[in-house]
Each structure stands twice: as structure tokens, then as C-alpha cells.
Amino acid sequence: MVNNLDKLEINLEENISNYTKVLNDLLDNISSLSSSKINDILWKLRADLELLIIELKFALEKENKTERWQSSFKEELKGTSSKQKAITMLGSYRKSNQEIQTIFKKKPEQNFRYFWELKETISSILSAFPEQKIKWSNGEMKKISEDVFEI
């Protein structure tokens, strides 16, 4: 019989696998995607990671308080609006699904930290992938859609 903690662990494994795949797929295809599409993917991934972190906290029986390493990470984290720097920052989180699953089984606390840092990093680089481009013309800001072009 599968108890609730076993179900939670199975659910966590599936989610970890899915989110790792989303990140790796994004990194594999990032040069061919529009900024607005990247923005959409990152917002969704960030929201999913927020829920995953809550589930990991519950599974690890962690208190709902900020730990010293989290404060230090946030203080040292430098966001960017440079697309190339943002891609490099995201790329530093690339891990294979097998590697992430191994960490989850052997060192779940390290897994929690990895996903928490990834979520914070995504938050800090979202401005590098604007939903819409903005152009300054005749003293006014104008939004430019990447899907529309002139012939």
C-alpha cells in the first residue's frame, strides 16, 4: 500500500523530471525562440518551481523561514537585462535529468537548494527577455510586437 509520503515523493520525482526537461529544452532552443516566448516559458517555470519548493519544504520538514544561505545568495545575486548574460546564468543550472534524480534521492536538501536558487535566478533575469520590445520614436515609447513585420 502506498502512503501519502510515498505519493508525495513520486509526485516530486515526476515534477523534478518535468522541470529539468523544460529548462534543458529551453536552453537547447533558446537561440531560436523570441524573447516573449522565452519570457512565457520562464514565468511558467518560475511559478512551477515556487510550488515545487513548497512541496520540497514539506517533504524535508523544513521550517518556513529564510536560511542564512538564502539571504547570502540573494545579496550576491546580480540580475541582468542582457540576453547573453541571462543565457549564461541559466546555462550554469543545466544538469541531466538523471543527475537531478540522483541528487534528489541521495541529497534532497541539495536538490531543494538547487531549485530555490534556480527560481531566484529566473526572477533576476526576466527583464532580459521582455514580453514586448519597446522602441523610442519621436520622443515616445512604442511597443513593438515580434510577430508583426512590415514588407
pLDDT tens-digit profile of 44-93? 999 999 999 999 998 888 888 889 999 999 999 998 999 999 999 999 99
Q: Residues 57, 108, 89, 143: what is their CA dihedral angle, to the nearest 10 degrees?
A: -30
Q: Tell me: the pLDDT tens digits for 132-143?
A: 666 666 767 666
Span between the terminal Cα atoms of the chain, in Å: 64
CA 85 to chain centre: 15
pLDDT tens-digit profile of 5-31?
Answer: 577 788 899 999 999 999 999 999 999
Q: How many C-beta neighbours within 10 Å does residue 35 have?
A: 15
pLDDT for residue 3 = 59
Task: Tell me which amino acid residue 105 is.
Answer: K
pLDDT (0 to 100) of residue 17? 95
What's residue 148's pLDDT? 45
The residue with greater pLDDT, 4 or 16, is 16
